[in-house]
Structure 1
């Protein structure tokens, strides 16, 4: 892979992280504010199961922990870009919206628009929520000090 391809893969990975941690209604609201390109479903949104693997310790053998429900979808823009969407849970619409955003991020025409109108506001909302939770946790923090007597 070239440096440019690595940058695009890193960008797609960052976009997916934001979208999977965002509320579906927020994604929908942000997408409604932009003109969506013509697209078709390559894979209709569907639900399924994946095996979750666990590991005890840093060097323990992997074991099957259990199953998790996931939703997935695939979308192709009329310009040829293909996007994939996966999310935990049974939210087919969210998987489809993630796939659409993934395809649009790959498009030279729509990448900037999606970043400014959809991804950046969602990223800011996630950051604000994390900061708020950190501040709430910090407010309950207790510092313990050990006192040493001067007898010695």
Structure 2
């Protein structure tokens, strides 16, 4: 594979992981049920753990440990050899496994188009519609303030 093709595939995986991480577990499951899933095995059983969250004051200050966050992770291997990894905030082991399965399928030439059109694209559209709805609700409550300049002195 050429470097350009590999970079494009990595960018596609990155965008897909963002969509899956922001989607509901039930939505992902519903979309995956409509797709013919390939044979696969769990390399790493879904498990919960903690990660340290780091922050910076003002965005450019010295980093500090903000606290810990619960995450779930999983690893899946397709029968064709592709390995996918899934991470999500919270204690949703099944969501981590489904994300790992989608990641592995995105790496496969045989299943990449199916998972992109059947799972990722509809979830991306749902996220965009939800954000648009929230923006409209927020805009409806917007108050415009203006400064009145007094004519004194």
State TM-score, norm by structure 1. 0.95
The Cα of 1:151 is off from its aligned counterpart by 7.6
Task: Give the secondary structure class of the aligned counterpart of 1:57.
Answer: helix
Give the structure 2 partner of residue 58 of structure 1: 59
Give the structure 2 partner of residue 36 of structure 1: 37
1:81 maps to 2:82? yes
Question: Across the two proteins, how many residue pairs are aligned to each other?
Answer: 152
The Cα of 1:18 is off from its aligned counterpart by 0.2
Distance 1:93 1:58 in 2: 34
Give the structure 1 partner of residue 138 of structure 2: 137
Distance 2:60 2:108 in 1: 41
The Cα of 1:5 is off from its aligned counterpart by 1.1
Distance 2:148 2:67 in 1: 48
Give the structure 1 partner of residue 107 of structure 2: 106
Distance 1:22 1:78 in 2: 26
> What is the aligned-residue RMSD (CA, Å)?
1.4
Deviations 1:52-91 (A, max 9, x none): 0111123311111110000000000000100000000000
The Cα of 1:146 is off from its aligned counterpart by 2.9
Instruction: Give structure 1 stretches of 5+ with no counterpart.
Output: none
Distance 1:26 1:148 in 2: 53
Q: Which moved more, 1:142-151 or 1:52-61?
A: 142-151
Distance 1:92 1:79 in 2: 24
Q: Which moved more, 1:31-40 or 1:139-148?
A: 139-148
Task: Give the secondary structure class of the aligned counterpart of 2:51.
Answer: strand
Give the structure 2 partner of residue 45 of structure 1: 46
Distance 1:63 1:122 in 2: 34
